Structure 1
Amino acid sequence: MHLDNQSLVQRDLAVLWHPCSQMKDHEHLPLIPIRSGLGVWLEDFAGNRYLDAISSWWVNLFGHANPLINQAIKGQLDTLEHVILGGFTHQAAVELAEKLVEITPPGLNKCFYADNGSSAIEVALKMSFHYWRNLGQSQKTKFITLENSYHGETLGALAVGNVALYKDTYGPLLMDVITVAGPDCYYREVGESWEQYSSRRFADMDLVLSEHADQVCAVIVEPLVQCAGSMRMYDPVYLKLLRAACDKYNVHLIADEIAVGFGRTGTLFACEQAGISPDFMCLSKGLTGGYLPLSAVMTTDVVYQAFYDDYQNLTAFLHSHSYTGNALGCRAALATIEIFQTQDVLGNNRRLAEAMAKAAERFKEHPNVAEVRQIGMIVAIELVKHKQSRQPYPWQQRRGLKVYQYALSKGVLLRPLGNVIYFMPPYVITEQEIELMAEVAWQGIQIAVQD
């Protein structure tokens, strides 16, 4: 059957409901059908190419159709595609768990698999609650989260998030959490450093912990970057203070590294920049290099031992997913980690991050840019109506969408978060491609800010 852009879009709109989309938009905002991908480029059925500047929702680390990951999956496919992980095991699941124990921060010695990022958050929340229950502290039922945080779309993950756009509609369905003012450095005073501001903001967290620790299972945070929360960023000192406070008040620390893990922030894991180990680390997205849905929750021997008991005592963690530890996903993840361990990915990323900083420099002086911020391979450009007052554009004007539409017309996939334009490309991008990405974003912003 001959396929072309128009016919595939028509068939799509007849049957498909797309994620994070108002489907009525597609009456005037054409879907882009992709035929193939290679490196940082996607190609449609008419031969138009698009630079994937957002790593296909932050998952793709080493480019589309990466030959090393392709080969690993093909090899696994001829041996074992999947087997139940309840009562059974297989080589890829064991090898990946061993690797994750090896490369994650010290003390994270046990690995629990799930299917996706939201599922990993659910596992960590339930595991923390259940740990305290097994220890006879059933009064610990609350979670503390940061304002502007995002941890996924399932009900538990949504509850511990704080982005109104995603959460408010489902408020009646969600558990009650304690939300604390965040360390987001966008709001620092003139002349105040990131470190000073994030340190100062920790007082709110310390106060809440001192008052509520007896009822609290865990604090959950996205280390360094609140990605879906407009790519807002903060200093590692906050994580150091938080780790010490969680120890002091006998509360777990859950690090949601789903988006920031695997080299995005300049270190393999963002927690490394604070020199801390959380009690739970949630991993997904880049874990498989953007190939297959898989997530993992890394935790400690102390947590594991609280569940290790005679079955009759009903302390087991009975959470399960049908595709837990899927062999193909595990093999893709092993190939992804192998690339980190056989190539100087982090060193190359430092050079690419410098190129991204250089390309983004001119945005700082733009009259409608409040801030250009960067941590590692993430650059965010925040558009505002007035630079001095930082008055935002009304969200109804969808200025970011205009950047998105213009960029597509020039062969670059940028998908802004509201009025925040960001770059989060695969690690195989070249300096020339970075310059193209930034130039198209600049042109798109010029159009988007016109009244």
Structure 2
Amino acid sequence: MNPSNQDWLERSRHAVWHPCTQMKRHETLPIVPIARGEGAWLVDFEGRRYLDGVSSWWVNLFGHANPRINAALLDQMNTLEHVILAGFTQRPVVELSEKLGALTGLGHAFYGSDGASATEIALKMSYHYWRNLGRERKTGFVSLENSYHGETLGALSVTDVPLFSATYAPLLRQTQRVKSPDWRLAEPGESAEAYALRAAAELEALFEARADELAALIVEPLCQGAAGMAMYHPAYLRRARELCDRYQVHLIADEIAMGFGRTGTLFACEQAGGLREGWKPDFICLSKGITGGYLPLSAVLTTDAVYAAFYDDEVGRGFLHSHSYTGNALACRAALEVLAIFEDDGVLAANRAKAAAVAADFARLAAHPRVEHARQLGMIWAFEVKDAQPGFSGRVFEAALARGLLVRPVSNTVYLMPPYVVSIGELQQAFDVLHRLLDEGLA
């Protein structure tokens, strides 16, 4: 007899330490055992289906069990699964690096396993660059209020979510925080652009006072995910680039969550003025959607000037960061297929058409009396619930699951970030579920 949902639930509780979880909660909040995935849907061991409204933690782009990515991985497995990247190379990592370089205008991709490791790589590279140039005072980092960049120690140092960082404060290096350009924080009557520029003025003041001590500014372009999908005007990115140039501070674009089409362009940075021409960061961090949700992979790309500062006869001036699975061939092959799907299927244009087709449905949800700050950016829809009571996020999670929708609210922010294969009808169904939950007074 096949194990049931309850069997897998109990076995998981006893054997697995689940992430981002107080495990005691699972005495009452069930773990959801998933048997398989089909497109935008997850299916449990008893056949119940759940629309994956969060792309399995923002990683899945083209659906579960995607035939093209499956086929690419099967082909790669019959050729090469992995080889040490120190002193060796292989076809998928070279081809992926070339393609990412062409898409971003940056080069020399350095690989990690996940978003936090990409943040660590970029921070270390920036610090080491200034050290190699003899500017050893430039050791500090700047991030936005309410930012999230990962949970390893370096990444957590530039993260401003106390739930994750407060416990580990004695282990973290001190970094600078500046006002978030999140347009929800604007004064009444103040435009998103005006508020973004007002926030940038605080950044300018910090640079004026302390630029000689600062290595880099790190930002999540256009949308701070863990801050509750905090969206902001691209004017902030343009101004930040100007200030970083003027005061000689690196700009790190954390595109880990917002890259690969989430904001409507392949990379969110493009909305500040283009990547390949003109505006671009000094470092770009990529992960999550890079393999379509199949395998762990991250990449950091940077400028020729940064690369050149490490190119030397002295080993200690090189960037010696590494891990065993750097540039894994299978993960890189999955990423190559993801980029091919974007190109072959006109994904960005299709996403724009899909978002336009459901605009009226989202507008009806946004008009609900309990909803405020309704917003949409690319394939992200979000809003706050005004009268949410303690425990709101868990209750919404459970109630939505009972109606076949997977959402994971952040505090009182409810959002949808589905795989791009979601249909118009499925999006409308998700909005309808959320509308009914609001009507039922869930709080």
* Same fold flag (TM > 0.5): yes
Query: CA–CA distance in 2 between the matches of 1:218 and 1:356?
Result: 39
CA contact (8 A) 1:287 1:295 kept: yes
Q: Deviations over 1:334-374 (max 9, x none)?
A: 00000011111010010122234322212333232221011
Query: CA–CA distance in 2 between the matches of 1:159 and 1:112?
Result: 21
Equivalent residue, structure 2, for 1:198: 196
Cα distance, 1:449 vs structure 2: 4.0
Query: CA–CA distance in 2 between the matches of 1:88 and 1:205?
Result: 42
2:280 aligned with 1:277, yes or no? yes
Unmatched segments (≥5 aa) in structure 2: 274-278
Cα distance, 1:258 vs structure 2: 0.3
Specify the code of the residue in structure 2 equivalent to 1:412.
L
CA contact (8 A) 1:227 1:259 kept: yes
CA contact (8 A) 1:400 1:448 kept: no
CA contact (8 A) 1:356 1:379 kept: no
Equivalent residue, structure 2, for 1:3: 3
SS state at 1:302 partner: helix
Equivalent residue, structure 2, for 1:408: 401
Query: CA–CA distance in 2 between the matches of 1:130 and 1:438?
Result: 47
Q: Deviations over 1:151-181 (max 9, x none)?
A: 0010110110111111111111100000001
Cα distance, 1:182 vs structure 2: 1.1
Specify the code of the residue in structure 1 equivalent to 2:399.
Y
Equivalent residue, structure 2, for 1:76: 76
Q: Deviations over 1:356-406 (max 9, x none)?
A: 432221233323222101111111111122xxxxxxx45xx1212211111
CA contact (8 A) 1:4 1:46 kept: yes
Equivalent residue, structure 2, for 1:445: 438
TM-score normalised according to structure 1 size: 0.95
- Residues 100, 81 of structure 1: CA spacing in aligned structure 2 closer, same or farther, 3 A cutoff? same
The partner residue of 1:303 within 306, 312, 326 is: 306
CA contact (8 A) 2:291 2:338 kept: yes
Cα distance, 1:410 vs structure 2: 0.7
Equivalent residue, structure 2, for 1:241: 239
Query: CA–CA distance in 2 between the matches of 1:282 and 1:356?
Result: 31
Query: 1:51-130 to 2 correspondence within 5 Å?
Result: 51-104=51-104, 106=105, 108-130=106-128
Q: Deviations over 1:272-326 (max 9, x none)?
A: 00012000000000000010000000101100000000035x2011100110000
Task: Tell me the matched-pair count.
Answer: 438
Equivalent residue, structure 2, for 1:418: 411
Cα distance, 1:444 vs structure 2: 2.1
Q: Deviations over 1:240-289 (max 9, x none)?
A: 00001000000100000000000000100000000120000000000000
Equivalent residue, structure 1, for 2:318: 316
Equivalent residue, structure 2, for 1:329: 331
Q: Deviations over 1:173-209 (max 9, x none)?
A: 1000000011110012233221121122211111111
Unmatched segments (≥5 aa) in structure 1: 386-392
Cα distance, 1:2 vs structure 2: 2.0
2:138 aligned with 1:140, yes or no? yes
CA RMSD of aligned residues (A): 1.2
CA contact (8 A) 2:396 2:442 kept: no
Query: CA–CA distance in 2 between the matches of 1:398 and 1:2?
Result: 34
SS state at 1:306 partner: helix
Cα distance, 1:421 vs structure 2: 0.4
Query: CA–CA distance in 1 between the matches of 2:40 and 2:337?
Result: 18
Deviation beyond 4 Å, 4+ runs, structure 1: none
Q: Deviations over 1:209-241 (max 9, x none)?
A: 111100000000000000011111100010000
Q: State percent identity of aligned pairs.
A: 55
Query: CA–CA distance in 2 between the matches of 1:446 and 1:145?
Result: 38
Query: CA–CA distance in 2 between the matches of 1:54 and 1:358?
Result: 21
Query: CA–CA distance in 2 between the matches of 1:19 and 1:329?
Result: 22
Query: CA–CA distance in 2 between the matches of 1:10 and 1:235?
Result: 46
CA contact (8 A) 2:9 2:33 kept: yes
Equivalent residue, structure 1, for 2:368: 366
SS state at 1:129 partner: helix
CA contact (8 A) 1:253 1:279 kept: yes
Equivalent residue, structure 2, for 1:388: none
CA contact (8 A) 2:118 2:299 kept: yes
Bigger Cα displacement from structure 2, 112-121 vs 188-197: 188-197
SS state at 1:200 partner: helix
Equivalent residue, structure 1, for 2:356: 354
SS state at 2:375 partner: strand
Equivalent residue, structure 2, for 1:389: none
Cα distance, 1:25 vs structure 2: 1.3
- Residues 20, 447 of structure 1: CA spacing in aligned structure 2 closer, same or farther, 3 A cutoff? farther
SS state at 1:80 partner: coil
Query: CA–CA distance in 1 between the matches of 2:230 and 2:347?
Result: 25
CA contact (8 A) 2:365 2:431 kept: no
Query: CA–CA distance in 1 between the matches of 2:219 and 2:301?
Result: 15
CA contact (8 A) 1:398 1:419 kept: no
Query: CA–CA distance in 2 between the matches of 1:357 and 1:29?
Result: 34
Query: CA–CA distance in 2 between the matches of 1:69 and 1:341?
Result: 14
Query: CA–CA distance in 2 between the matches of 1:113 and 1:437?
Result: 36
SS state at 1:153 partner: coil
Query: CA–CA distance in 2 between the matches of 1:153 and 1:377?
Result: 25
Specify the code of the residue in structure 2 equivalent to 1:197.
Y
Query: CA–CA distance in 1 between the matches of 2:442 and 2:406?
Result: 19
Bigger Cα displacement from structure 2, 216-225 vs 4-13: 4-13
Equivalent residue, structure 2, for 1:255: 253
